[in-house]
Amino acid sequence: MARRIAPAALALALLPLAAPAPAAHAATAPKLCTSTGDPKLAAKLSQDIRTALSGRAGRVSVTLWDRRTDTSCAVGSTWHYDSASVVKVTVMMAVLRRAQELKRNLTAREDALITAMITKSDNDATTQLWQSLGRARVQRFLTLAGLTHTTLNAGGAWGLTQITAQDELRVLALLDGVNTVLTPSSRAYGLRKMAAVVASQRWGTPAGAPTGVGVHVKNGWLPRATHGWRVHSIGDFTRTNGMNYRMVVLTQDNQTMAYGVTTIERIARAIHRDLNPGTKAAVVGRVPMLGPQRSDGSDHGSFRR
């Protein structure tokens, strides 16, 4: 019998502060969102994210940044989670950075492995890239990228890397914003791969995205003996005017994968609606129909060959 899980707490803090004690039912709940360009939008997002989380069981973290209005949101932004397959985006970026440092293009093999890893969430491809990088190079990349709250698993399992919603928002920023870690061509390559994820894995943060918004996504779904299913989704969304927004939702303590997906998609729909008023959702969102719910298998890879 699965243990009963307390409702998701809105223990919220604005980036980059650590999350305070839960205050879901406080009379004056803290703001989840702030904005230099549209304070009314920030207030609406705060309210609608709270509503989306209301009554949902398990632990949930959310981070968001909108370029057009300079609006940021954070829910439990420094809580740690097993990464599951969302770490594959970081693996891809580390491989791209290695090629830059060696002053070469990706090899045909690297490109094929990255394509399988990102678009199909292929674990064997991920393990091959992970082992080719090695622990020291991956750690150097994490430091260079400023992923200060991301911690490698002691046994080297890439899917058990400890991540936070704050750091995953930084991962997306390295792909869609000017920086010294990845070149423009590397960033464009990474976004192309995330835009080509197979249809069966395009659930989560894309739910509710309107027509004309480019979708770049990577998901993870991993059950373990404790804390139930980890179900995560990170997405970068580009409007036709080029003004993008980034969204991260990490969850655990889900009794089923479907429950976690539903939680993520409730949040995503609210965010897309608030950021794109007057538009119609083109991405409906869907709970994956996998028969018996299967793990993404991300807890098995390691640095050892």
Give the tens place of pLDDT for each residue, 16-63.
Answer: 333 333 433 334 577 899 999 999 999 999 999 999 999 999 999 999
pLDDT tens-place string over residues 206-231: 999 999 999 999 999 999 999 999 99
Flag whether 189 is in a domain.
Answer: yes
Domain count, the chain: 1
Report residue 72 as tokens.
């940021």
**For residue 22, what pLDDT is reported?**
42
Burial level of 180, CB count in 10 A (0-12/13-18/19+)? exposed
Percent of the chain with pLDDT over 90: 80
The reply to whether 300 falls in a domain is: no
Residue 82: inside a domain: yes
Domain membership of residue 271 (yes or no) is yes
Predicted TM-score (pTM) of this structure: 0.89
The answer, yes or no, to whether residue 2 has pLDDT greater than 60, is: no
> Could you give the 3-state DSSP secondary structure of residue 66?
strand
Helices 165-176, 123-145: axis angle to 10 degrees equals 90
Rounded to an integer, what distance in angstroms lies between the CA atom of residue 239 and that of residue 233?
19
Q: Where in the sequence is the domain holding 193, given as residue range(s)?
A: 33-275
